[in-house]
A and B are shown apart, each in its own frame.
Chain A
Amino acid sequence: MHRTIGLVASVVALVLMVPSAGTILGQGQMMQAIGAGEGALWIIAWAGYIERGETDKNYDWVTTFEKQTGCKVRVKTAATSDEMVALMNEGGFDVVTASGDASNRLISGGRVQEVNLSLVPSYNTVDERLRNAPWHTVGGKHYGVPYQWGPNVLMYNTKVFKTPPKSWGVVFREQRLPDGKSNKGRVQAYDGPIYVADAALYLAYHKPALGIKDPYALDRKQFNAALDVLRQQRKIVHRYWHDAFIQIDDFTNEGVAASSSWPFQVNLLKAKKFPVASTIPVEGATGWADTTMVHVSAPHPNCSYQWLEHSVSPKLQGDLAAWFGSVPAVPAACNGNKLLGSDGCDVNGLKNFSRIRYWKTPVANCGGGRECVPYHEWVTNYIAVIGGR
C-alpha cells in the first residue's frame, strides 16, 4: 500500500518539477544551476525555527523571502530528531533543519542530496569551524548548510546555588545542595536517548580509566558504565523533561533546583524574573548544531536552494538567535542586530564552542577497528532506565 502512495508521490513530484526542466535530479545527483522558483517550499523544522511574525511581529524571516522569491513557505514542526528522520523517510518535503543526531542518519539512508556550495554564495560567511563539520560533510561531500547551534546548559535556581555549580554531578549523583537539602527529587534530566552522551561526558572527566574520548562512540563497557550513572540518576530525578514549557512550569511550581536545559528556557524564565541562571560545568557539555538539508527528491529544488542562501543571511541568523536562544552559524550576525543585542551571542554561548561536544548519531562502526553501541540500543536502553530497569 505504501509503495503505491510512494509511486503516486513521486509521479506528482516529477510533474511538479517539469516546468523547471534541466534541474530534474536523479538519486544523489547534485544541482548544477538554479532555475526559476517553483512557487512553494515545504520545510520540516524545530518549533520556533521558521517564524513569519505570527507569534511576535518583530520575528519574521519568511515574509521577505516569499516576496523576493515567490516561494510560498509551508512548515511542518517536529519535536524530536527521530520524528524528523521519520518525516524525511516518508518524503514529500524539501528541506529539514536537522540536528547532528539526525543528519548522519539522513545521509547514510540516502534521504538528502549533496549540496552544490557554488550555488550558495554566502557559504564562505559561515563560521569556519562549522564549514566542514562531520555531521553534514561525509567523504568530502557537503550535505547541508549550517543553520544554528547551541549548548545543553546546566540551568540552576540561583536561590539554591549562590555560586554556579561546578560539575554535572549535581544532577547525576545524590548529594546535599548548598541550601542544605538533598538533591533527591529536585533535578531533571533530558528525555531523549542522546542524553546517554551526557552521562558519558561526565564519566570521561571523572573516570579517565574508561578511556572515553568521544561520548557518541561508546564501546560496550563504556556504554554500560554510562547506563549505571543514569540508573543512579533515575533515583534522584524528579521528571524527565521533553517539553520546554513543562520544564519551565516545573522550575516555577515544583521546586526543581537544577537540570540540563536549553538557553531557550533560561531566557524565558529570566524574562519572567524567575531566579535562574545557566552554566557549562568543568566536564564541558553536549550541544546541538543544526544543518539545513535538502531532500533527495525535493519537489521544489530551486526554491530550496534560494532558501539555503537566505538561511545564512546575517539578519535572519541574528533574529533567529535572539528568538531561539541559539548561536548564529554566521559570526557577522552577532554584530549590530537589534533583537539580539550586542552581547546576545555571548549570552547564548558563543565563547563555549570548543567546550561543546555536538550531537551526532552513534553508529556500530565507529572507526579505528572499534565496535560501538549503535543508536537503536541507546533508545531501548534509555527507555528501560527511565522505567526503572
Chain B
Amino acid sequence: MSTGAPLARRISTYLYRRPALALGLLLTPPLAWLGLVYLGSLVALLVQSFFSLDGFTGQVVRRFTFATYGDLFTRANVDIILRTAGMAAAVTVAAAVAAFPLAYYMARYASPRMKAALFLAVLLPLWSSYLVRVYSWKLILAKEGILNWTVTRLRLEGVLEWLLTLPGIGGPSLSVSLLGMFIVFLYVWLPYMILPVEAALERVPESLIEASGDLGARPADTFRRVILPLAFPGVVAGSIFTFALTLGDFIVPYALGNSAFFIGQAVLAHQGTAGNIPLAAAFTVVPTVIMAFYLVAAKRAGAFDAL
C-alpha cells in the first residue's frame, strides 16, 4: 500500500492533466465492442449474403454473386417477408390501441399505490420464461383447451367458428390460425408498449389540458389535438419494440399458427438446418433494412427527442 498509493496518485494526476487521453481510455473498450463485435458481425453477415450455395453437396461457394438475392425475391420468400411484416404491423397497431387506455389510467388517475400495483402487474409476466408463456398459450388456444371450453359454455361457439372461417387469418382451431398467433404476439409484447406510452403521458403537462378545456375544447378535442400529439413519440418508441420483436421472433410461429414460415424461421431453417448460410444472411438483411427505415421515420416523428 505504501508504494501503491503514490503510484495511483501519479497516474491520476497524469490523466487529470491530459483529459483527451482519459476520455480515449474510457471510450476505447465500448467503441471496440461496438465496432468489432457488433458492426463486425453485421458486415460478416452482409458479405455472406453475396456468396451462394452448391445445391447438392450443400457447401458454400465463396464467390461474389447476386444469385442469393435472386433466390430471396422468389414469390415464396416474398410471401414470408410480407407475412412477417404484416403481422408485425398488425401487432404494433393493436398493441398501441390496447396499451393506451391502461397507460392513460396509470399516468393520470391511479393513486401511487394503485400505480405501483399496475406496474407490477404489467412487468410480472416478464419474470417467467418466454417459452413457458408461449407453450401455455398453445394449450389455452387448443381445440380442446380452456378458451374453447369457456366459449362453448357461453354458447358463443358460433362467433368463434365464424372468426375461424375468415380467409387468411382463420384455421381449424385458434392455436393453428394466424389469429391465434396474433393474440399471443400481442400478449407477449404488450408490456413493451405500455411502459413508454405511460412515460410519455406522464410528461404531458396538466396545465395544457386545463387550458384546452378553458378555451372551450370538448374532451374529445383535447384528446385528439393536445394529448395524442404530445404522447405520440411514446407510442412510436413502444412501436419500435413491438415491431422489431415481432419481426425477428421464431418461437411463436414455431409453436402456433399454420406452419407458414416467418422470417426468423426461414433464417433458422436455412442457416441451422439446410446449411444455406448465404440465403439466411440475405434473409437477415431484410428486417435490418426494414428497421433502418422504421427508425428514420420514428426519429422524424420525434420518438427520440426525450432521450
Residue in chain B with minimal CB distance to A362: B56
The 3 closest A-B pairs by CB, nearest first: A185-B172, A86-B275, A384-B76
Q: Report how far A361 CA is from B145 CA in the complex, Å.
A: 40
Contact pattern, A 85-128, Cβ under 8 Å of B = 1, otherwise 0: 11001000000000000000100111000000000000000000
Q: Report how far A120 CA is from B260 CA in the complex, Å.
A: 45
Q: Judge whether B160 is part of the interface by a CB distance below 8 angstroms.
A: no
Q: Which of B58, B83, B269, B272 has the most CB of A within 10 A?
A: B58
Q: Are A387 and B275 also in contact (CB < 8 A) when A109-B57, A109-B59, A239-B176 are? A: no
Contact A389 B76 (CB under 8 A): yes
Contact A89 B275 (CB under 8 A): yes
Contact A184 B76 (CB under 8 A): no
Q: Within A345-389, which residues are at the interface with B (CB < 8 Å)?
A: 361, 363-364, 374-377, 379-381, 383-384, 386-389
Q: Report how far A7 CA is from B67 CA in the complex, Å.
A: 28
Q: Judge whether A1 is part of the interface by a CB distance below 8 angstroms.
A: yes
Q: Which residues of A contact B246 (CB under 8 A)?
A: none
Residue in chain A with minimal CB distance to B53: A376
Partner among A80, A376, A386 whose Cβ is within 8 Å of the Cβ of B259: A386
Chain B residues within 8 Å of A, Cβ to Cβ? 44, 53, 55-59, 71, 74-76, 79-80, 83, 138-139, 142-145, 171-173, 175-176, 255, 258-261, 266, 269, 272-275
Q: Judge whether A343 is part of the interface by a CB distance below 8 angstroms.
A: no
Please give 10 more A-B residue pairs, beta carbons under 8 A apart, in addition to A83-B273, A380-B71.
Answer: A85-B275, A86-B58, A185-B173, A239-B176, A240-B259, A253-B143, A375-B56, A379-B274, A384-B76, A389-B75
Q: Report how far A184 CA is from B80 CA in the complex, Å.
A: 24
Q: Which residues of A contact B44 (CB under 8 A)?
A: 1
| Nearest chain B CB to A87 CB, angstrom units | 8
22 contacts between A and B (CB under 8 A): A83-B272, A89-B57, A105-B58, A108-B57, A109-B57, A185-B172, A185-B176, A186-B172, A191-B259, A238-B171, A240-B259, A246-B255, A249-B138, A253-B139, A254-B142, A254-B172, A375-B55, A375-B56, A381-B76, A384-B79, A387-B79, A387-B80
Q: Which residues of B contact A39 (CB under 8 A)?
A: none
Partner among B55, B142, B175, B269 whose Cβ is within 8 Å of the Cβ of A376: B55
Q: Which residues of A contact B176 (CB under 8 A)?
A: 185, 238-239, 254
Contact A388 B272 (CB under 8 A): no
Residue in chain B with minimal CB distance to A186: B172
Q: Judge whether A255 is part of the interface by a CB distance below 8 angstroms.
A: yes
Q: Judge whether A82 is part of the interface by a CB distance below 8 angstroms.
A: yes
Q: Report how far A246 CA is from B175 CA in the complex, Å.
A: 12
Q: Which residues of A contact B266 (CB under 8 A)?
A: 383
Q: Report how far A225 CA is from B144 CA in the complex, Å.
A: 36
Interface size on A, residues (CB 8 A): 41
Residue in chain A with minimal CB distance to B138: A249
Q: Are A86 and B261 also in contact (CB < 8 A) when A253-B143, A375-B56 are? A: no
Q: Which residues of B contact A110 (CB under 8 A)?
A: 57
Q: Which residues of A contact B57 (CB under 8 A)?
A: 89, 105, 108-110
Partner among A79, A184, A387, A388 whose Cβ is within 8 Å of the Cβ of B273: A79
Residue in chain A with minimal CB distance to B171: A185
Q: Report how far A239 CA is from B228 CA in the complex, Å.
A: 42
Contact A388 B79 (CB under 8 A): yes
Q: Report how far A82 CA is from B279 CA in the complex, Å.
A: 15
Q: Which residues of B contact A108 (CB under 8 A)?
A: 56-57
Q: Report how far A221 CA is from B81 CA in the complex, Å.
A: 29
Q: Which residues of B contact A364 (CB under 8 A)?
A: 56
Q: Report how far A110 CA is from B56 CA in the complex, Å.
A: 12
Partner among A86, A374, A387 whose Cβ is within 8 Å of the Cβ of B56: A374
Contact A85 B261 (CB under 8 A): no
Residue in chain A with minimal CB distance to B71: A380
Q: Which residues of A contact B173 (CB under 8 A)?
A: 185, 238, 254-255
Q: Which residues of A contact B56 (CB under 8 A)?
A: 105, 108-109, 361, 363-364, 374-376
Partner among A109, A238, A246, A386 whose Cβ is within 8 Å of the Cβ of B261: A386
Q: Which residues of B contact A89 (CB under 8 A)?
A: 57-59, 275
Contact B275 A82 (CB under 8 A): yes
Q: Report how far A109 CA is from B54 CA in the complex, Å.
A: 10
Q: Report how far A238 CA is from B164 CA in the complex, Å.
A: 13
Q: Which residues of B contact A363 (CB under 8 A)?
A: 56
Partner among B53, B75, B175, B258 whose Cβ is within 8 Å of the Cβ of A254: B175
| Nearest chain B CB to A8 CB, angstrom units | 18
Residue in chain A with minimal CB distance to B145: A253
Q: Within A235-272, which residues are at the interface with B (CB < 8 Å)?
A: 237-240, 246, 249, 253-255
| Nearest chain B CB to A352 CB, angstrom units | 28
Contact B143 A254 (CB under 8 A): yes
Q: Which residues of B contact A240 (CB under 8 A)?
A: 259
Q: Which residues of B contact A383 (CB under 8 A)?
A: 76, 80, 261, 266, 269
Q: Report how far A237 CA is from B255 CA in the complex, Å.
A: 16
Partner among A79, A254, A374 whose Cβ is within 8 Å of the Cβ of B55: A374
Q: Report how far A363 CA is from B272 CA in the complex, Å.
A: 22
Q: Which residues of B contact A80 (CB under 8 A)?
A: 273
Residue in chain A with minimal CB distance to B272: A83
| Nearest chain A CB to B32 CB, angstrom units | 18
Residue in chain B with minimal CB distance to A83: B273
Q: Report how far A109 CA is from B261 CA in the complex, Å.
A: 29
Q: Which residues of A contact B143 (CB under 8 A)?
A: 253-255
| Nearest chain A CB to B178 CB, angstrom units | 11
Residue in chain B with minimal CB distance to A80: B273
Q: Which residues of B contact A249 (CB under 8 A)?
A: 138, 142
Q: Which residues of A contact B74 (CB under 8 A)?
A: 380, 384
Q: Report how far A386 CA is from B142 CA in the complex, Å.
A: 21
| Nearest chain B CB to A297 CB, angstrom units | 15
Q: Which of B139, B172, B266 has the most CB of A within 10 A?
A: B172
